[in-house]
Amino acid sequence: RKEVEQDPGPFNVPEGATVAFNCTYSNSASQSFFWYRQDCRKEPKLLMSVYSSGNEDGRFTAQLNRASQYISLLIRDSKLSDSATYLCVVNIRDMGRRALTFGSGTRLQVQP
Amino acid sequence: DTAVSQTPKYLVTQMGNDKSIKCEQNLGHDTMYWYKQDSKKFLKIMFSYNNKELIINETVPNRFSPKSPDKAHLNLHINSLELGDSAVYFCASSQVLRNIGEETQYFGPGTRLLVL
């Protein structure tokens, strides 16, 4: 079982749509959680951290359910520029080791 | 004014050759990483250095050897290149925010390695 699992997509949605991505993680030692965005042939960039209470940044809302080991990202009012791959990322701190573990990403294509 | 830079951006080479990829960060971060992203776009950590000390060494063939001359640089040397080494290699750096124990990793632009 992969440590971080995501639906690979692609999700093809029209502009203005609301789209949700889900992610599950297997290691209960995971301590912090993130969504990164990766554009085609570019490096991953932090989109937002994910907090237990849920957090919002403009059109983006992230939720974390530690009991179910589940993370979500909601994008409202999709823009063409939102087309990218969204990577679910957990930070596992185990025996003093810190490392980001990435999901394989969910591809989003927003269409005009 | 790039925060994390890598050279070269593209590397095409023959099987069996030895090559190096360089990484530099000007963010003053303590920790640097090498990741490999394969053809299926799966990003996997290879190594991590904190203040020039190796702290993570995942299951990577010993043909791969990282070297950190100082905390702003982490280079990756690959011996006897194989076809399966073809991938995009990303360098990253981070700094733990001690008050909340959180860190953001900043990635370099990647080095696209193709082994023929």
pLDDT of residue B1: 59
3-state secondary structure of A80: helix
| Among the listed residues B90, B76, B73, the one whose alpha carbon sits nearest the alpha carbon of residue B27 | B73
Q: Is the dihedral of CA A38, A42, A46, A48 positive or negative?
A: negative
A interface residues, B as partner, C-beta within 8 Å: 31-32, 34, 38, 42-46, 49, 85, 87, 91, 96-102, 104-105
Rounded to the nearest 5 degrees, what angle is found at the Cα of B24, between the Cα atoms of B43 and A38? 30
Q: How many CA atoms lie within 13 A of B46 on its CB side?
A: 28
Q: Of B42, B102, B108, which is closest to A43 when you measure between CB atoms?
A: B108
Greatest mean pLDDT among B11-25, B27-41, B58-72, B99-113: B11-25
Confidence of residue A98 (pLDDT cuts 50, 70, 90): low
